[in-house]
Amino acid sequence: MNIEMNETYARDTSTVWEHEIISSASDLKEWIKYEGAKYPKRTLVGGGFPLTENDAIFKYQKRLRKTEYYLNTGKKWMYYLSLVKLNRLRFKYGMKVRLNSCGKGLCIVHLGSIITNGDVGEDARLFVNSAIVSNGGGEREPRLGNHVTLFTNAVVCGDVKIGNNNIIGANSVVTKNFEESNIIIAGTPAKKIKNRLLE
C-alpha cells in the first residue's frame, strides 16, 4: 500500500478533533462500502468465512461498525447480540478498537494486536501492534486528526493531539502534542523528523 498522501489530503490542514459517528442505516451502509474498498483482495464465501487476512480484518471491522450503529441508534437488544459477536472476534484476532473511537475510513493494515482508546479521525491507517491509549490516572486520551498512519509498534499515549496527515514511525512512543500537519514523527520519545513532501 502507498503510504503517501494525495494533494487533496495534503491541503487539509485544519484539524478537527472530533469525528462523525454512524447514526443511521444509510451511514452504516456508506461507511461499510467506503471501508470495504480499502481491502480489495477479499474472498468471503460461505456466509462470511474468512480465507485471507483481508477477509478476517474486514469481518472484524464490519462487525465493529454494525455494533456502533446499534449502540448509537438505541437498538438495545441488537447491540448486545452484536457486541457478543464483536467480542468473539476481538478475542480471536487481538484487535480492540473501542466503539466510536475511529472515524470513517479506518484501515487496519495487518491482522494482529491493535488497541484504540482515543479519538481517531477519518482514514486512519493502523499497522500491527499499534496502540492509542491513555497513560492511566484519569488523563484524557489521545486525539488524532484525519489521515494519520501508525506503523508497527507505534504508541500514542496520554493527553496528546496529532495533526492531520501525519505519519508515526515504527517503534515510536508519542507522549506530547504534534499539532502541525503533514509531518513524519519517530523515535522514543518521538520527535519531528521532517515534513511530508507533495509529489
Domain contains 141: yes
What's the rounded Cα separation, in Å, for the pair 74 and 55?
29
Q: What residues pair up with 102 in beta bridges, in sequence order? A: 120
Mean pLDDT value across residues 69-89: 96
The per-residue pLDDT for range 9-20, each reduced to its tens digit, is 333 445 555 778
- Residues 188, 174, single domain; the answer is yes
Residue 121's domain comprises 96-199
* Average pLDDT value for the chain: 87
Domain contains 3: no
Mean pLDDT value across residues 142-162: 95
CATH at 107: 2.160.10.10
Domain contains 15: no
The total domain count for the chain is 2
- Residues 114, 48, single domain; the answer is no
- Residues 68, 120, single domain; the answer is no
pLDDT at 198: 52
- Residues 74, 128, single domain; the answer is no
Domain contains 182: yes
DSSP for 59-88, written as a single string: HHHHHHHHHHHHHHTT-HHHHHHHHHHHHH
